[in-house]
Amino acid sequence: MGSIILVLGGTKSGKTTFAQQLAVDAAAEGAGAVLYIATATAFDEGMQARIRQHQSSRPAGWKTLEEPLCVSAALPEAAEGMQAVLLDCLTLLTSNIIMRLGDEPDREETQNRVLREVEGIIQGASRMDATLVVISNYVEAGLVAPTRLGGIFQDIAGLSHQLVARHADAVYMLTAGIPQRLK
């Protein structure tokens, strides 16, 4: 059974660099195979630039799976033979699911849909031999979202973090590039 590591942090907190090193370290214990699961979609020029930056920061030998919506379904097969799987990122996955439900999604239905996906990822990780490193943006400590949709996102992100953290072997919070182990 593999392990789960949750890496939380704000924008540009250093979480991706730290998570990549965790994946490298986990893979070094085996054959060195790492799967990078990218949830981002290039919806504008700014996101395209972020995606290019993330692509250039990854080691060339890593396998990449672009999966913006159904990570849980793709995870078991894609992770075969891998020593580490890096999921970047849970909050983008959450927003992708929410945005597919329209401008005024039902809060309970949306929460259930996202949490089912997160539970599926956790179940998939429990059947893998690989270490799963999950990156997510910490949005719980900011101001309360001023819009209904933003509030739904913020609440679901917090619940998703709690769910992953309960099952995680380690949880880190990154601030200014400095990791602090929470669990």
Q: Report the distance separating Cα 158 and Cα 139, nearest Å.
A: 7
Would you state the torsion angle of the CA atoms of residues 54, 77, 7, 141, taken in this order, to the nearest 10 degrees?
Answer: 90
- The predicted structure's pLDDT at residue 119: 98
- Active-site residue (options: 10, 14, 41, 54): 54
Q: What is the pLDDT of residue 142?
A: 74
Q: Which residues, given as ranges, of the chain have pLDDT below 70?
A: 1, 29-31, 42-44, 46-51, 54-56, 58
Which residues touch 92 (CB under 8 Å, ≥6 apart)?
Answer: 39, 40, 68
DSSP state of 145: P
Predicted confidence at residue 3, as pLDDT, reads 94
Q: Is 156 helix (H, G, I), strand (E, B) or coil?
A: helix
Do 21 and 182 contact (CB within 8 A), yes or no? no
Question: What is the structure's pLDDT at 181?
Answer: 98
Tell me the per-residue pLDDT of 1-39, one tens digit each, with 9 for 90 and over: 689 999 999 988 999 999 999 999 998 866 678 999 999
CATH T-level topology, domain 4-181 = Rossmann fold (3.40.50)
Domain ranges of the chain: 4-181
* 54 labelled catalytic: yes
